[in-house]
Amino acid sequence: MNKSLRNKFIVLACLVVGILVLDLVTKYVIDGMFEEGTGVSAIPGLFNIISVHNFGAAWGIFEGSQVMLIIMSLIFLGIFIWFFIVEKNKSWLFIVTFSFLFAGCLGNLYDRIVFGYVRDFIQFAFWQSFPIFNFADVFLTFGVIMFIIYLLIPLFKKEKQIADPNGKIVIEKMDNKDKNKDAEIKNDEVIINELSDLNEQKALENKQEISVEENVVEAVKDKQVEIVADSAEKQKKTSNDDENDKNKTAKKPKNATNPKTKNNNTKTKSKPQEKTDKSEKIQKDSKNSTKNQNKK
């Protein structure tokens, strides 16, 4: 239920209960204080309080026919309730009007069902021929006047011709206030649509920024993974090279010597041979020289 409609129902219930309490309590007090036909001047020149038991309607009409009056009251109550359910435009005027009519009718119906008459006590001091009445009658009278105003209000509204989708001309009743309200509602709708579009654009921009950031984060993660993989491969290669070197050194023989040491040995061996050859040449030369001397 709409919040405004709920508030209207609350006001309606409070008005109906308040009017019934005011009507029944005043009737009980006045009927207990004064005998029938006696009273006092409440406001001199304006109102008198006189206790009267009315067995009919206003001005004594339908006197003695309480059953018919009860049936008529129930019919009017049913009409009020039906109209309240059917009516879609439940304005504040309609709510107050319905509460006055409903509560006033209930107040007098209670008296007719319980006592067989209506307890009246208010009299105009300046118009004593006017029927004596009670608070239920007061609210019923104001309710009828307000109901007539409520029914006449649409007649004062301006008429506007509108073509419906079928091509027929429809007369729409509008006043300047309604036009201004429609314009304000349209402006509010335009503003709301613009704000919704802006919010959607901002949401799209935020999504795009988030997607870009996610892509950057994914790229950084991929690079980190590649760097880690490269470093792992390099470590594997270095470890494999170290293992190969170890295997090569393990396969070499223990007595193997370097070529440099071999050359040195050959050099050392060749030097005494040269010395021996020179000594042999000297000996030969000395022998030849001795032989030549002997021949001479």
| Structural tokens at position 229 | 């993989």
The closest of 166, 167, 153 to 97, measured between CA atoms, is 153
User: How many angstroms from the chain centroid is the CA of residue 153?
Assistant: 38
Exposed e or buried b per residue across 196-213, where buried means at least 16 C-beta atoms within 10 angstroms of its C-beta = eeeeeeeeeeeeeeeeee
Is 230 catalytic? The answer is no
Cα end-to-end span (Å), the chain: 165
Question: Per DSSP, what are the bridge partners of residue 158?
Answer: 174
User: How many angstroms from the chain centroid is the CA of residue 279?
Assistant: 124
User: How many angstroms from the chain centroid is the CA of residue 38?
Assistant: 65
Q: Which of 23, 137, 164, 277 is catalytic?
A: 137
Is 120 catalytic? The answer is yes
Q: Which of 120, 182, 241, 277 is catalytic?
A: 120
Active site residues: 120, 137
